[in-house]
Amino acid sequence: MSAITRDEVAHLARLSRLALTDDELDHYATQLGAIIESVAKVAEVAAEDVPPSSHALPLTNVFRADEVRPSLTPEQALSGAPAVEDDRFRVPRILGEEA
């Protein structure tokens, strides 16, 4: 039996202002029931001795090490800019902040 009834799906649809057909109500009741049952299974497995985690596997940094290397001078970087001010790109103000 589904963990959520057709009437509950209809109620949720009304709250969400969704117009669902009878076929959609039955379809979503089945799907939502499967989701609720799956979440219940996960809750059964979760044990107090298992610490919470955000990832199943440990994460490692895959970025390269920071190394000082030759790069553009400020003049080269700003050479194609449409507007420059104090060795920076000048862009239009968008937030109306005080200067």
Instruction: Give the residue-averaged pLDDT of 13-32.
Output: 94
**Torsion from C-alpha of 65, 71, 74, 80, nearest 10 degrees:** -110
> Which has more pLDDT, 28 or 46?
28
The pLDDT value recorded for residue 98 is 65
CA 21 to chain centre: 30
Residue-range domain boundaries for the chain: 6-45
CATH, domain range 6-45: 1.10.20
Mean pLDDT rounded to a whole number for the chain: 87
Sequence-ordered list of residues with C-beta below 8 angstroms from that of 87, at least 6 positions apart, any chain: 74, 78
How confident is the model over 50-90, as pLDDT tens digits?
777 788 888 888 888 889 999 999 999 999 999 999 999 99
